[in-house]
Amino acid sequence: MAPQNAEATVGSLLRRYRLAAGLSQQELAAGAAVSVRTIRDIEHERVDAPRAPSLRRLAEALGLAAFDRDRLLAALPGPRPEPDAGRPLRVEVLGPLSVRTGPAAVDLGPAPQRDLLALLALQPGRVVSRDEIVDVLWGDQPPKTCLSMVQTYVGRLRGRLDPDREPRSPGKVIRLAGDGYAIDLDTDELDLAQFQELVERGTAEPDPAAAVDLLDRALRCWRGPVLAGASPRLRSHPAAVAAARRRVRAALAYADLAADLGLHEAAVARLQELAPDEPLHEGVAAKLMVALSGSGERAAALSLFAEVSRRLADELGVEPSAELRDTHLRILRQEQVVRRADPRPRQLPAAVPGFTGRATQLERLDALLPSARTGPGTAVVISAIDGTAGVGKTALAVHWAHRVADRFPDGQLYVNLRGFDPAGPVPPDEAVRGFLDALHVPAQRMPVGLDAQAALYRSLLAGRRMLVVLDNARDADQVRPLLPGSPGCLVIVTSRDQLAGLVAAEGAHPVPLDLLDPDEAVRLLARRLGADRVAAEPEALAELVRACAGLPLALVIVAARAATRPGLSLAALAAELGQARGGLDAFSGADPATDVRAVFSWSYRSLSEPAARLFRLLGLHPGPDLATAAAASLAGVPPAQVRPLLAELARARLLAEQAPERYAFHDLLRAYAAELAARANPPQERQAALHRLLDHYLHTAYAADERLNPHRDQITRTPAQPGVTVDGVGDQRQALAWFAAEHATLLAVVEHTATAGCDSHTWQLAWALTTYLDRQGHWHDWAGVQDLALTAARRLGHRPDEADAHRGLARAYARVGRFVDAHVNYWRALDVFGEIGDWLGEANTHRNLAFMCGSQGHQRDALYHASKALDLYRAGGHRVGEANALNNVGWYHAQNGEYREALEHCEQALALLREIDHRPGVAATLDSIGYAHHHLGNQREAVASFGRALEMFRVAGDRSHEAGTLTRLGDAHHAAGDRERARRAWRQALVLLEELDQPEADEVRGKLAGLPPPA
């Protein structure tokens, strides 16, 4: 039997697909060439091994259906089907067009017939309309018999590609579909498909060495420019341009990985193959310069810069880009040329001021350096510093790390694992992702799952000399995924746990840390208070040291108290301390707890009453740190009143100001503050303070989301309580900065609301975080938050919120490539929206499904869902939704090559959008209309539509859409034969795309490179 969860998923998805397509079981069985019984068994989750081949054929037949075909096939028993060995066909378009059956070359006939095959092969599996074929083969002057000629060409090609087929039987390679034709080729039959598969595998591969090999194999599929020697119309077709762009991206990715692995000569070989085809691509030139320099050919690298600079000036009239100039400057200075703007992370916290003592421990740490310094050994060097809370583990680790940082030229990584934080420890996957971010791994290359992320992290550190500080670990299991895998790096781990497992299994060197001895404690106070003051009262000094029990945290607080009251004698301070004795249960061993609590309470009792109340309430905060506005909300006072109270706490060393207006506790002090709050503040007051804090985060996040996504449908929020401060986020930049600063805290707050039963806040906070987490690539966090939101909505019994949480979880799953799970949640959302009669929710869900299907290349499925959304918006009288959905339907018609249907829908959308004065929608629809006209050969109408859209985007300041419209405007000018206007539009688009750092810039560079030099 297939796995139970796979069966359920297969059955559910198959039912959804069949119903969505409007097919009966008989129709689906006939189309997939399987039995009706097989269909029924699958839908009822009765799938056994003997019928697995039928199910496999069904999955193949539904290859363009709206679910993850590869994952479906992977769940089936038995081996994957092998390609049909009876048809040794090979079609190659990555270079001059070439077709072979076995060892023999196939004569493809006249040039138009060859171009027809090439056009289909550029878009395997996609139906290419007759109109598009005619446009590519003959342009604006097709012969009157063009359609019959196309039929003739298809018939001849079928005979030559399928010589063994029966007379007058349908072709096995080229099939008729709708109003056009499609070619069906396996991966091993088409070099373009093989290239794409290898690139996808290489991009997802966490091991750099394996990724380099896969990308190298992908690049070897190319024999020259795509369809070299074919007609200009074919070589400028969007599919051909897209293939060339993918080649450039693969080459750049290969060059980066090869440089990291020191494979400079290999990078030179691959880039020199590409450079003649991309003579104006500055990214290719920069990577080739890096590879040449790394190979010892510095003169050749400098010569290449001069040549490319001249070419850019002569042909485009532009200066070299900043990347190219920076690479040139580094080579001139004989610096190491690296591909990252800041390749060496410097994450150590600030050095500890006035560090004192610990000579023995520092010597033990120094003794570890020779094995790290002498290069490759047998293992990573790990130091495990353990000791009780407040004993100074972090201070020792950071102090020593700064002392030896110059021994690790590739950088330093640091993370506070918060192993004993009341809010819970940092999960290993979150810590690994933080390190990968610091190592400049882009979001789109971030692997899914802890194992893959840890493997990529180890690969990136291989061969480097880096210092890694893992602070405040809970146990060895939290640490292991963060350990490098090869020698040369040194790891410092601090923990209250002795980490015996790390010592035993990973060979860590234990460095136990105990309380300071009396002499060290005296030196610490002397460093902070001054030798004269300490020498004047030796007996009082001894009493202070005894009361602090040698705990560095307590000594630092005492020193801070004494420093802020220089007129008070040390004897008076010791007397005050002796009056407050208790016990902190968190301590064990020699039990210095009584005196430590006395130190804390002594400092606490010295506070003003408002500051003392704030200190207690801060103990309720669930996150790692907080800003002034959050503290103000906890206290229920304006920020102007809370700032002096926070400053008072910081002076007393009961709070640390980590950054301007951002504060954090030591976890011992947090526990003490929470303990005081439980005793001194009634439950109603604590609950009200927490409610204000949650309202602060909810309403500020909501306001920030409005800046990031102003056109988003809004929700009804829980009203803010009196005393809540909402941070001002005046523009998009401020909104992004706020989210970035509060990222970890917001995740902790959402988790706290989920465990505390604050379900309304849970799903509303999850909703407000959606735009930020999505756009910044924090998709794993997004999925986790949406999962909590779904649980909260179910507990509340709010069906609309449950459906919306399913939809949000589906969007997050789609981002991390879990397409099966995404579809399941989308359809569950549709179920609930349907049950409660929420047609708007259904419409929005269909819109999301359309986008995901379109992004997967399933354009027919995308069109279906966009049409469903349109029907729902119309039925509900939602005119804005109807207007935008009309444009979406038109766009997906265009993506399917149905340009006349696209125009019909977009013209309706345009009339409605103008009637309701929806200007962003008008601009987007004009762009769609221009796109359809361009592909229909109506270049004058296309230029006019693009021009009007361009004006509106510029007025609105929408630079991203402006760049896209400029690109398409250049296409229309080029198709009309106006090369200079095309050049001008593409240049303007390129400037915007480079400023926005968009990957489409490569495509535009390719278009410019394909133009002849200006007259």
User: Under DSSP, is residue 641 helix (H, G, I), strand (E, B) or coil?
Assistant: helix
In this prediction, residue 638 carries a pLDDT of: 93
Burial class (CB in 10 A: 0-12, 13-18, 19+), 869: buried
Mean pLDDT of 608-637: 91
| Residue 90: strand pairing partners | 100
In this prediction, residue 611 carries a pLDDT of: 92
The set of residues, in sequence order, having a beta carbon less than 8 Å from that of 431 and lying 6+ positions away, is 415, 417, 478, 481, 482
Query: DSSP per residue over 865-922, as a string?
Result: HHHHHHHHHHHTT-HHHHHHHHHHHHHHHHHTT-HHHHHHHHHHHHHHHHHTT-HHHH
Alpha helices in 261-391 (DSSP H): 264-274, 282-294, 298-315, 322-332, 359-366, 369-373
Please give the structure tokens belonging to residue 980: 């200079």
- The highest-confidence range among 384-398, 429-443, 643-657, 915-929, by mean pLDDT, is 915-929
Residues of the chain with pLDDT > 90: what percent? 17
Strand 509-512 and strand 381-386: pairing? parallel
Mean pLDDT of 565-576: 79
In this prediction, residue 339 carries a pLDDT of: 43
Q: What is the pLDDT of residues 852-863, one digit of tens each?
A: 887 677 888 889
Give Cα separations from 601 to 598, 604, 655, 686, 879 (angstroms). Answer: 5, 5, 14, 20, 64
Give the span between the Cα atoms of 147 and 133, in whole angstroms. Answer: 9
Q: What is the pLDDT of residues 630-665, one digit of tens each?
A: 999 999 999 999 999 998 887 766 787 777 888 887
Indicate if the pLDDT at residue 419 is higher than 70. yes
What is the rounded radius of gyration, in angstroms, for the C-alpha atoms of the chain? 33
Q: How many helices (H) and strands (E) does the chain have?
A: 48, 14
**Angle in degrees, CA 18, 24, 26, rounded to 5:** 115
In this prediction, residue 376 carries a pLDDT of: 42
The phi and psi torsions of 97 (rounded to 5 degrees) equal -60, 130
Indicate if the pLDDT at residue 564 is higher than 60. yes
Give the span between the Cα atoms of 889 and 14, in whole angstroms. Answer: 24
In this prediction, residue 81 carries a pLDDT of: 38
- The highest-confidence range among 171-185, 496-510, 873-887, by mean pLDDT, is 873-887
Q: Which of 415, 418, 400 is nearest to 347 (CA)?
A: 415
Please give the structure tokens belonging to residue 69: 């075909």
Residues of the chain with pLDDT > 70: what percent? 82
In this prediction, residue 55 carries a pLDDT of: 52
Q: Which of 115, 189, 190 is nearest to 153 (CA)?
A: 115
The set of residues, in sequence order, having a beta carbon less than 8 Å from that of 349 and lying 6+ positions away, is 398, 414
In this prediction, residue 470 carries a pLDDT of: 93
Indicate if the pLDDT at residue 746 is higher than 60. yes
* SS3 per-residue string spanning 543-555: HHHHHHCCCHHHH
Contact 761, 791 (CB under 8 A): no
> Positive or negative, the Cα torsion across 332, 338, 341, 346?
negative
Mean pLDDT of 980-997: 81
Residue keyed to tokens 């997967």: 856
Q: Which residue has the higher pLDDT, 158 or 866?
A: 866
| Residue 467: strand pairing partners | 412, 490
Give the span between the Cα atoms of 685 and 691, in whole angstroms. Answer: 10
Beta-carbon neighbour count of residue 31 at 10 Å?
13
Give the span between the Cα atoms of 494 and 391, in whole angstroms. Answer: 11
Give the span between the Cα atoms of 633 and 639, in whole angstroms. Answer: 8
Mean pLDDT of 413-439: 83
Q: What is the pLDDT of residues 256-306, one digit of tens each?
A: 888 877 777 778 888 888 888 888 888 888 888 888 887 778 788 888 888
Indicate if the pLDDT at residue 588 is higher than 50. no
Instruction: Locate the DSSP E strands across 117-162.
Output: 128-129
Indicate if the pLDDT at residue 88 is higher than 50. yes
Q: What is the pLDDT of residues 771-802, one digit of tens each?
A: 888 766 677 888 889 999 999 999 988 888 89
Q: What is the pLDDT of residues 932-956, one digit of tens each?
A: 999 999 999 999 999 999 888 776 5
Mean pLDDT of 308-333: 77
Contact 854, 862 (CB under 8 A): yes
In this prediction, residue 521 carries a pLDDT of: 84
End-to-end CA distance of the chain: 70
In this prediction, residue 53 carries a pLDDT of: 47
Strand 174-177 and strand 89-92: pairing? unpaired
137-169 b/e with 16+ CB inside 10 Å = b? bbeeebeeebeebbeebbebbbebbbeeeeeee
Going by pLDDT thresholds of 50, 70 and 90, the confidence category of residue 343 is low
* Arithmetic mean of pLDDT over the chain: 79
pTM of the model: 0.50
Give the span between the Cα atoms of 415 and 398, in whole angstroms. Answer: 11
Going by pLDDT thresholds of 50, 70 and 90, the confidence category of residue 388 is low
Give the span between the Cα atoms of 405 and 386, in whole angstroms. Answer: 21
Q: What is the pLDDT of residues 12-22, one digit of tens each?
A: 656 655 554 44
User: Under DSSP, is residue 539 helix (H, G, I), strand (E, B) or coil?
Assistant: helix
- The highest-confidence range among 133-142, 239-248, 607-616, 725-734, by mean pLDDT, is 607-616
Mean pLDDT of 715-719: 81
Going by pLDDT thresholds of 50, 70 and 90, the confidence category of residue 689 is very high
